[in-house]
Amino acid sequence: MPNAQLLIKSAARQVWRLEPLLLGLLLIAFWIPSPARDRWLWLVFLLPPVWAARWLDRRRLWPDTPLQWALAVFLALGVANVWLAPYTRGLMMLGRPLLGFALYFYMVERVERSRRLDGVLLATAALALLLGAAALLTTQWNEKSSQLAVIVDALPNFTGLPLLEGGFNANEIAGAVSYLLPVMAALVAYRWTAGRARAGVTLAFVLLFAALALGQSRLAILGVIVGLAFVARLVVARGRWRHLALAGLIVFGLFEALLILNAFDTGQQPKMRARDEASFSDRVNIWRSGLDMLRDYPLTGVGMSFFRYNPVRQRYPVPKYENRVLPHAHNELIQIGADLGLPGMAVFAACYSLAGFMLLAAYRRGQPETKALAVGVAAGLLAHGVYGLGDAVPLWDRLAFSFWWTLALAGAAWVKSQG
């Protein structure tokens, strides 16, 4: 009997070691928009056998972290939403969140087993490199970037690449960049101080920063400036390097202020000022539409990813968007409320709060690399939080993996700091 148990545990270990391969396939498959994505939903059903194998090997489904029950409640709300919300596409809408949960638990489990952050940080740097390159080469630059046209026009455009067809909206990609850019900044600061390998994280930081600056998503830029100031204060070595980092942020902030004032293209100044005023007025109307949905359906919202749905748009109209696509509520808390109601808003806020708790604990108890990661992730959540005041990356969209990845880094830092 003991030999049989050892054989079962060995077989289970081999099965759940296939999890990173499965997650890689899911990341690619779920990047594809529907309806093509729907053909790959069956991959989700390969996750339970992997989790069962983990149970057989380690007698648990997932590593123990403060965030696990908030994620479980989020999943339960999603399942209930399928039957209770006025609009639904069925359980298929939980595919991307399930991928997010799997990413979280895999990355935390890996760090807990190895007691090392190297693998997770290498994967994060690779992801940041890909995201930065994709942002620079496929973004659909808009009129906010017109003063930087000498740079933007010189960049090649590869919007026909497989998986990147059509490219990115500049504001959309800025939401994902705002999560990862402060993380890369913290790792760059730590690795230059510690004398460790730094070329990859430095290049990732440069690419992400360039994409953010050229895209001119102003709330994302404001959030990142605040986040990077946080990193400079807590991670960059005292003395001239910290002073240089803070001075660089001040210069960048002043440069951004000049761009907002249209200082480099005075002929467009009235047009840009009118655009900014209209943009704020439009956002107020969009927020009002989302809040009306929440008022009518406080327990469920209108349904996952249905803010953009044509019957919903007709019922909750927004001036000037009668015949235009309106993908989200331009505020992440209102968006999650429109999708999942007040319970969804509470769980979303709990995820941020619990991540903050884990990061504070990791900073207080961790070694220098763990502290740097904790600061970078906290700064990323802060930066994206500022972005989320006037824009959104809905949790059902392709770039939502950046949210789950950031939570996974918070969990990784927490378990690494536990001993």
- 8 contact partners, CB below 8 Å, separation of at least 6: 56
Torsion angle of the four alpha carbons 397, 400, 401, 406, in this order, in degrees rounded to the nearest 10: 180
Structure tokens at 370: 């763990």
Pairing of strands 168-169, 139-140: parallel
Measured distance CA(370)–CA(119) in Å, rounded = 13
Q: What is the pLDDT of residue 1?
A: 45
Q: What is the pLDDT of residue 267?
A: 61
For the entire predicted model, the pTM comes to 0.94
Kindly provide the residue ranges of all beta strands, DSSP E only, lying in 150-281, ordered along the sequence.
168-169
DSSP string, 12-63: HHHHHTTHHHHHHHHHHHTTSPTTGGGGGGGGGGGHHHHHHHHHHHHSSSS-
Beta partners for 139? Answer: 168
**Cα angle vertex 411, ends 409, 415, to 5°?**
120
For the chain, domain boundaries: 1-61, 62-417
Q: What is the pLDDT of residue 296?
A: 97
Q: What is the pLDDT of residue 272?
A: 60
Give the containing element (helix H, strand E) for 140: strand 139-140
DSSP string, 323-375: TS---S-SSHHHHHHHHHHHHHHHHHHHHHHHHHHHHHHHHHHS-HHHHHHHH
Q: What is the pLDDT of residue 35?
A: 80
CA distances from 276 to 261, 263, 286 (A): 11, 15, 15
Q: What is the pLDDT of residue 278?
A: 67
Q: What is the pLDDT of residue 270?
A: 59
Give me the residues of the chain with pLDDT under 70, please. Answer: 1-2, 265-278
